[in-house]
Amino acid sequence: MQYKNSQLLLAKRPKGMPEDDCWKMNHEMITSLDDNEILIQVKYLSIDPYMRGRMNDGSSYAEPAKIGEPMTGETVGIVVETNSDSYAIGDKVCAHKGWQTFIKVKDNDPTLYKIPETKIPLSTYLGTVGMPGRTAYFGLNRVGNPKSGETVVVSAASGAVGSVVGQLAKSYGCYVVGIAGGPDKCSYVKDTLNFDECIDYKAGNLEEDLKNACKNGIDVYFENVGGPVTRAIAPLLNKDARVPICGFISQYNAEDVSKMETPFHVLGVLDPKPEHRFFVVTEWMSEWAKATGEISKLILDKKLFYRETITKGFENAPQALRDVLTGRNFGKQVIEI
């Protein structure tokens, strides 16, 4: 066996928007497998907002990406060589082993997930039925706890996480308002995803538009962006409101995030203070299969819709990350290898 693996290694930590020199292309030959190892040929690489935080060398909920090692990220691919009783050639597998085109890994690695045979496209296991979809499912259900008739507001509503949050909330009988950037994304959120309303934060009337859309206040706000959106949401939060904090992408490129106003600053001074906390999807890892199964069924039954931006070429991953951080992508961003 002989396979040429291409890797994008983290070369330096960025200040502000990560430019191309933050990564270095590396090539290596994979010529053998040890006992209980498999080799995955990567077909798609996930690009997600959290990656920007992992490039920083600071305290966080997860270890920072290491200089000289493949950039953090999840991939999906096909087993092309196996020295394992658990995996056969042709098996489809998700792995969280960074930006590389071939992955040699032990068959008991906890980041591996064998994909069941379905009609759902492989790339979707990095988005709606992958980590972003599970993030939406658990953040909404376990932290947001929506009830039928309540008002749920979702920022970054056309994105990989927000689009699933809003559609799930609608299926639970909630009144759902999305926030997105630009008329195209807003019309998609309202007309295709069937949110009740969608507000264009770029239109310049955010506070007024939110008040008009949320006549009964806000019971659940699913936080993805931070900044001016959180400040506009805060006065409309009802007593006993819940705010799952998934992220705050508007501040990820700050040179010193510790000096920025975060959603915790905005929400923490309110009286009454809404129930709010940051969460990570790994809190419910033992239930991932259940969530994936529920979301998969909704897709197959044509009750949950999604959109992907698929960029061809492994070398385009850095630009794709910049696109995600600036909102240039539409829906879930993946790289096709």
The tens digit of pLDDT for each residue in 274-286 reads 999 999 998 998 8
Last residue of a domain, one of 249, 265, 282: 282
Range of the domain at 48: 3-127+307-336
Is 295 a member of any domain?
no
Q: Do residue 277 and residue 323 come from a single domain?
A: no
> Domain boundary at 265, 282, 299, which?
282
What pLDDT was estimated at residue 251?
A: 66
* Span 32-71, pLDDT tens digits: 999 999 999 999 999 999 999 899 987 666 789 999 999 9
CA distance 96 to 87: 17
Same domain, 62 and 105: yes
Do 85 and 39 share a structural domain?
A: yes
Lowest mean pLDDT: which of 13-22, 55-64, 114-123, 314-323?
A: 55-64
Share of the chain above pLDDT 70, in %: 96
Residue 316 lies in a domain: yes
For the segment 216-225, the average pLDDT, to the nearest whole number, is: 97
Query: Does any domain span residue 28?
Result: yes
Kindly report the average pLDDT of the chain as a whole number.
94
Q: What angle is formed at CA 314 by the lines to CA 308 and CA 319, rounded to 5 degrees?
A: 70
Q: Domain check: are 208 and 88 in the same one?
A: no
What is the pLDDT confidence band of residue 252, given thresholds at 50, 70 and 90? Answer: low
Q: What is the pLDDT of residues 60-92, one digit of tens each?
A: 667 899 999 999 999 999 999 999 999 999 999
Percent of the chain topping pLDDT 90: 87
Same-domain check for residues 135 and 272: yes
**pLDDT for the residue numbered 168:** 97
How far apart, in whole angstroms, are the C-alpha atoms of residue 111 and residue 98? Answer: 11
Across 27-33, average pLDDT: 97
* pTM to 2 decimal places: 0.90
18 and 41 in one domain? Answer: yes
b/e map of 141-173 (b: 16 or more CB within 10 Å)?
bebbebeeebbbbbbbbbbbbbbbbbbbbbebe
Number of structural domains in the chain? 2
The helix or strand, by DSSP H or E, that contains position 47, with its residue range, turns out to be strand 37-47
Separation in Å, CA 176 to CA 81, 195, 218, 317: 47, 5, 10, 33
- As a whole number of angstroms, the distance between CA 82 and CA 86 comes to 9
CATH number at residue 155: 3.40.50.720
